Amino acid sequence: MGHPNRRAGNAWGRQFIAFTIAAAVMVGTLLALLAVDRLEGRRHQLALRASTFSQMIVIRERLDRALAVPMQRTRGMMAQIVAHGDVTPDEFDRIAAVLLAGHRHIRNMTLSRGTVIALSYPLAGNEAVIGVDYRDRPSQWPAVERAIRDHGPILSGPVDLIQGGHGLIGRAPVFLPDAIGGEPRLFGVISVVVDFEGVLSDAGLLSPELPIRLAIRGRDGLGAAGGMVWGDEAVFAAAPVESDLILPFGSWRLAAVPRQGWNAIDAERDLVRVLGLGLWLCVAAAAFGAARYMRDRWQAELALIDSEGRFRDFACATSDWFFELDAELRFSYFSPSTERVVGLDPSPWLGKRRDELPVRDPNAPEWRRHLQDIAEHKPIHNFEFTMTAPHGVVRSLRISALPIFDADGSFRGYRGAGSDVTAERIHQAEIGRLQSRLKNILCNAGEGICGLDRDGHVIFANAAAERLTGWSESDLLGTVFTDLIRPAAEADAVQAVLRQQGEHRGEGVPFRRRDGGTVPVDFVVDTLIEGGPQGERGVAGAVIVFQDVSARLAAEAELRRLHMAIEQSPVTVIVTDPQGNIQYVNPAFSRVTGYQAGEAIGGNPRLVKSGHQPPEFYAELWRVIRQGHGWDGELCNKRKDGTLFWEKAWITPVFDADGAIVNFIGVKEDITRRKEIEEELRRTSAELARSNVELEQFAAIASHDLREPLRMVSAYLQLLQRRYGSQLDAQADEFIAFAVDGANRMDKLISGLLTYSRVGTRGIPFQPLDMEQVLADATANLRATIDQSGAQVSHEPLPSLAGDPSQLVSLLQNLIANAIKYAAPATPPIIHVGAQRGDGEWIFSVHDNGIGIAPEFFDRIFVIFQRLHTRQECDGSGIGLAVCKRIVERHHGRIWVESTEGRGSTFFFTLPAEG
Ligand code: ADP
């Protein structure tokens, strides 16, 4: 027994020979059949030619008959003319009638005298030809001339006849012999006109059943050299059978081919061919059948020879091993591959029972069941177990085995195969670990991730997908994902990707949530492609990754709102780059400056510089903002039309994440109008101050100058009383007393006015002072009044501040005096002076328990000469509080009263705190 592969080679060689012989038989048979077919073809062609030729000869004979006879008839007429030297019309008619009788296709016979046609038989229908001179007929004259020149008859035509239709014309010139033996003299020309179509019809050429196609050459009787007389000229080029028709005045060449052509299908031949093909197929089938039979036999033989060797080769080369158990389930055979595959020498196990194998878990239910199965002689299929071999080596093995039975059905053992799946198991465990790690990553990803099958059903959803949609993974599994996508167009786009493969992205697309709402997401869907069994590639599914962009959309909306706000703001906004190049201006900028955004962007804010501020001003501004600080101030700028305007500007740097300046933002308010009002106010205040000073000066001078005459009036009235008091009556004394009292009151008023005016003019510069001391001085000045009224004056600790000491003493003095003066009847006055710290100022209060003031008079009492009481009720001039107000205002404070009638009053005034 040789090497199996070599044997296989021999067998292949033998098979090859068998099939080669079969093929040779087929080719040989085919060639023989083709040779027979060719011979048959040739025979057929010859037969066809012979039959075509005989058909043509029949036609030729008919034509001959139809043409030759009438043509010869001219001779009778010619004989008559030559015999008598002329012919009369009657004779011509009579002779012609005899000559032409029985020839239905002869249209007429004519006779010309010289070249002019003189007679015609029959005349009826041919009158038109009488008197015609052949020389005037270019179509006929050449033939006539030829006949005359050659002194012999000719055939012309077919030609268009003068009388209409087609005709063949036989022309015979008639010469009369010369009496004195000279040249014969031309008498005329006899013409016989034959109806061409009639001749053709009689010859059978026009019959549709004619089995041949016939063509005739030889116009004017010129034979093969002449033009076509009838039929298709192409027939002459189609290998026709040919023959000449000799006519009285010339000849025609006839050519014919079978109507269907030379290669027309021959049913008989086709039948032979079909039979031949059938025969050939039978031979081929027989040859190949024999070859196959031989091949199968050889293959069976080969299989038989090789099966043992193959089994041994497999057993050696395989990555499996084979074993046998005997009827007692003891190992009786291990294939040689066992040690290599399992990595252990199996020989110690020979003779051991299967249940003695050192499996890792002998009590595991699967192992127990397996032992049970083999005890019951069941087939084992892919059973896996783990074995602890010596040195602690752990092996995962998978076996399949079949029970073997004798012919009589008694159990003989098992025969089986096994493979080592340790690496596979380790690999699987590794894959499992990787899978769970991957799943972990997917589950913990911030983006929602869903796996889809090719129909778009969800087959995986991570935690973020659950969070974003509100559905749990188990809710999502099996649903069609595109149902979650709100806009139909987007859902369709995802479906399209699943059908055609590729990628699709969506931005801000609303996804449906379980709670009925939507969440806007950015998503990308990408198909997974897998190869098919034929290597074709198709969509296996897709992964869709999506993230919630509601925060971003909200931020964008906010940004849009802010943009709108800036665009519509009445305040100018300018954004520049760090170099000061303008990147943005809002519409207010254009409104204020007259420059359009297009003119400003890319330029520099110095566009609106007026030159009002010195260069150092701008240098300082840039220094401040470049250092990262904000700047604010007022700028006088210039509009496009050259007019100036004022702006209050706030310029702020904008930083990036690294703290670098990326922009400057200037916000500017047009304050031109405010500036104008301020200027107006400043001018008015200056004017007011000037007129106040003038008024004070006038009041001071006036009161001073008024007091002088008043004192004179008062002094002289008192002198009058002293000197003449006894001579006047009591009423005169009373009158004098009134006058003196009036003068005194006027003096008081003037002195009050003087005091009032001096608050502005005679004040001394502010100096630091202690308000406790001021209060002490005021109460000391009022000591007598206080004692007299039994008033109690208390106070809180009072602060130190800057002011005019004598004015502040009179301020407190006035307020305390009023508190005593306007005390409630029969109630000793209780007066309290307080001080509270306010915002940058001190708020002083002088509280009393007097009669109080009605609210409607709160403002009036601070106006000069305004009193609430008559002089009879309470003495006073109405100047005290007016003076207080001027003193407080000179100290940049305010004064007001709070009071409830009958329950006392509190006068408040403020003074600026020091520092
Ligand atoms: P005169 O006290 O000289 O009348 P003032 O200017 O000091 O002028 O006061 C104006 C008016 O305010 C007084 O006439 C009085 O009616 C009212 N008045 C001032 N102080 C008090 C007070 N402490 N209690 C009630 N009324 C007062």
Instruction: Decide: 831 and 845 in contact? Cβ < 8 Å.
Output: no
What band does 32 get if pLDDT is binned at 50, 70 and 90? confident
Residue 582 to residue 666: CA distance in whole angstroms: 10
* Dist. CA 868 → ligand 1 center (Å): 7
The predicted-structure confidence for 855-867, as pLDDT tens digits, reads as follows 999 999 998 888 8
pLDDT at 653 over 50: yes
Q: Which ligand 1 atom sits closest to the C-alpha of 867?
A: 14
> Please, are residues 66 and 199 in contact by the beta-carbon 8 Å criterion?
yes
pTM here? 0.36
Distance CA 820, CA 846 (A): 11
816 lines ligand 1 (CB under 6 A): no
Region 205-231 average pLDDT = 84
Instruction: Assess contact for 597 and 574: CB atoms under 8 A.
Output: no
Residue 435 clears pLDDT 80, i.e. is over it: yes
Q: How many CA atoms lie within 13 A of 222 on its CB side?
A: 14
Q: Which residues does 79 contact at the CB level (< 8 Å), separation at least 6?
A: none
CA of 801 to the centre of ligand 1 (A): 27
Q: How far, in Å, CA of 353 to CA of 332, rounded? A: 10
Predicted confidence band of residue 9 (pLDDT cuts 50, 70, 90): low
CA 375 – CA 327 distance, rounded (Å): 10
Which residue type is seen at 54? S
Q: Which residues contact 471 (CB under 8 A, 6 or more apart)?
A: 461, 514
Return the structure tokens found at 654: 């904008």
**Inter-residue contact 514 to 534 (CB < 8 Å):** no
Average pLDDT over residues 257-274: 77
Digit-coded pLDDT (tens) for 513-545? 999 999 999 999 998 887 766 666 778 889 999
pLDDT per position as a tens digit, 720-757? 888 887 787 888 888 888 888 888 888 888 888 888 88
CA of 740 to the centre of ligand 1 (A): 25
The CB-side HSE value for 563 (13 A sphere, CA atoms) comes to 7
Q: Is the pLDDT of residue 174 over 60?
A: yes
To test the pocket of ligand 1, the residue of 756, 831, 867 to mutate (highest count of ligand atoms within 8 Å of its CB) is 867
> What is the spatial distance between Cα 172 and Cα 72, in angstroms, rounded to a whole number?
10
- Cα(747) to centroid(ligand 1), Å: 20
- pLDDT of 656-677, one tens digit each? 999 999 999 999 998 989 889 9
Asked if 190 and 78 touch (Cβ cutoff 8 Å), the reply is yes
pLDDT (tens digit, 9 = 90+) per residue, 678-714? Answer: 999 999 999 988 887 887 778 778 777 888 888 888 8
Reduced to 3 states, what is the DSSP secondary structure of residue 252?
strand
The answer, yes or no, to whether any atom of ligand 1 lies below 6 A from the CB of 161, is no
**580 pocket-lining for ligand 1 (C-beta < 6 Å):** no
CB of 877 shorter than 6 A to ligand 1: yes
